[in-house]
Structure 1
Amino acid sequence: MSGSASDLARRLADHADAVCREYLSNGRRIGNYWIVGDVRNASGRSLHVRLKTNARGHAGKWVDEATAEFGDLLDVIRESCGLVEFREVADEARRFLAMPRPQPRTHGAQHQPAAKRDSPDAARRLFAMSQPIAGTLAERYLAGRGIQSSTYERALRFHPGCYYRDFLTGETQTLPALIAAVTGLDGRITGIQRTWLDAAGNGKAHIVDPRRSLGHLLGNAIWLGFRPGAPVPMMAAGEGFETMASLRTVMPTLPVAAATSANHLAGLIFPRGCRRLYIAADADAAGRHGIQRLSQRAGEAGILTLTLRPQLGDFNDDLRHLGLDHLAAWLRDQLAPEDAYLLTPSG
């Protein structure tokens, strides 16, 4: 981060509460945190902005517990306003602060956002402590979602007592969880996604945010049906794990990547030899910018992209409510004609 950027971030942090009220207006203050859905000002409770510096951290720093993204208040202004160039972000920050343009400073490096310490190591440890999902509550959960062949996916494991902390109340508990590995193209685990489950087998656990990610996620994904290092001439990618696992249920030979969020989808690293990319969309517009950015990057890399759209909210909704055969028929017209062989109806 340049000196001028670090100075702006520091000045914004001095007015963190006011910045949040201006740019994250869909949130609210709870204790020393501003709570909102995400850095783009969606409603919800997964993003936490620290409002005052204390022993736990600096004012203005934020983390999204759903995606493991983090940053400072300049990032808040950039994302909430939809800005791209730093000049635009700086101008908006200066407008808010009603301050003249500062001269560049030389000591800004010390104010860089700190990386989440040991997150990939923690992810790898938790994955190693987990067990294969065959015969577990995790397999039962996925089967209830219509997702088949999950026991053969090496990225999926089960933990019978995974730690969960409610960030609003501070209360902690241990719950069973489906653990999905986030990996790079070399197969090395860089993060995980935890889906806490109801111990009685009734879907997800009845907690505020039953799904959270941990680790280094940008560029990486939950890969299903992928051999590290092998060329992948054709694949599918999308945000949600269950969306992509549903597509793999109906197209079991197609490698798929779940990027865990729209931002991470936009930054997905393409495997070697990729020539055709199917991008799974949801019915709402929340992830549209991720799809657009990924399509643009793929085009620049010479990769043909085609968008797959569900009939209902997402492809897991289609799979559960309409059935595998109906989903296969729905997808057939959206695939390139030469890829129709990928579909495997139940009949």
Structure 2
Amino acid sequence: MHEIGSLRFHPRCYYRPDDHSPTEIWPAMIATVTDLSGDPTGAHRTWLDPDGFSETTLGKARIDTPKRAMGDLLGHAVRFGVAGEVMAAGEGIETMLSLRSVLPTMPMVAALSAAHLSAILLPDTLRRLYIVRDDDPAGDGAMATLIDRAQEAGIEAIVISPQLGDFNEDLRLLGSDALRAASRVQIAARDVARFMELAA
């Protein structure tokens, strides 16, 4: 996978359930949130299950809030690659990394929530935006808002929809071949050759 420098692993990341509880220590994936210039504006932490991945935990720690973000998030995102004329934008890190596994060179951003996705700042260079939809009401609302914002800016907006709840579910439950096939028919033909590794 290319250009995932915004992600780091920390074996002993602090977690505090609330103001009145003692601090706990868990392994975590830490993602840098950046602005359009690549300057850090915040961080997102996903605490991980020290026993590894299972379908029960999906690899996340068994705590009340295994995901938390901090900093200046509105309009900004966790970025994978540098956007030029084409970019894909969606909510979650896992969702975007799943899609990136079959479109490994397409620049992508994870806005971290539906509300933040609808408010994401769009690069001046952008001409085509793939909106990576989560199949839920919040995802539909973010998609509609982002379509309107892209069109107002003269950017072509194309929605990519998962077969299940999101693209991470598609990858885990249907497999990479099914994800590749479903993605291939949803992106512009010129972007298939540009961003998709067909020999995989």
TM-score by length of 1: 0.54
Match of 2:24 in 1: 173
CA distance in 2, matches of 1:328, 1:307: 16
CA distance in 2, matches of 1:328, 1:161: 35
Partner of 1:199: 50
Aligned residue for 2:138? 286
1:157 counterpart = 2:13: no
The aligned counterpart of 2:102 is 250
* More helix per residue: 1
Shift of 1:166: 0.9
Q: Give me the whole-angstrom Cα distance separating, in 2, the residues matched to 1:200 and 1:214.
A: 26
Amino acid at match of 1:195: T
Runs of 4+ in 1 over 6 A off after TM superposition: none
- Determine which of 76, 79, 84 is the counterpart of 1:223: 79
The answer for the alignment partner of 1:297 in structure 2 is 149
Q: CA deviation at 1:188?
A: 0.8
Cα distance in 2 for partners of 1:165, 1:246 equals 29
In the TM superposition, what are the counterparts of 1:1-347 in structure 2 within 5 Å?
149=1, 152-167=3-18, 170-202=21-53, 203-226=59-82, 232-341=84-193, 342-345=195-198, 347=200
The alignment partner of 1:278 has SS state of strand
Higher strand share: 2
Aligned length: 194
Query: Unaligned regions of 5+ residues in structure 1, if any?
Result: 1-148
Q: Report how far residue 273 of structure 1 moved.
A: 1.1
Sequence identity percentage:
49
Q: CA RMSD in A?
A: 1.6
In the alignment, is the contact (CA less than 8 A) between 1:277 and 1:303 conserved in 2?
yes
Question: Quick one: higher RCO (CA 8 Å, sep 6+), 1 or 2?
Answer: 2
Unmatched segments (≥5 aa) in structure 2: 54-58
Quick one: which amino acid aligns to residue 344 of structure 1? E
Counterpart of 1:158 in 2: which secondary structure? strand
1:345 Cα deviation (Å)?
4.6
Q: TM-score, normalised by structure 2?
A: 0.91
The one-letter code matched in structure 2 to 1:219 is G
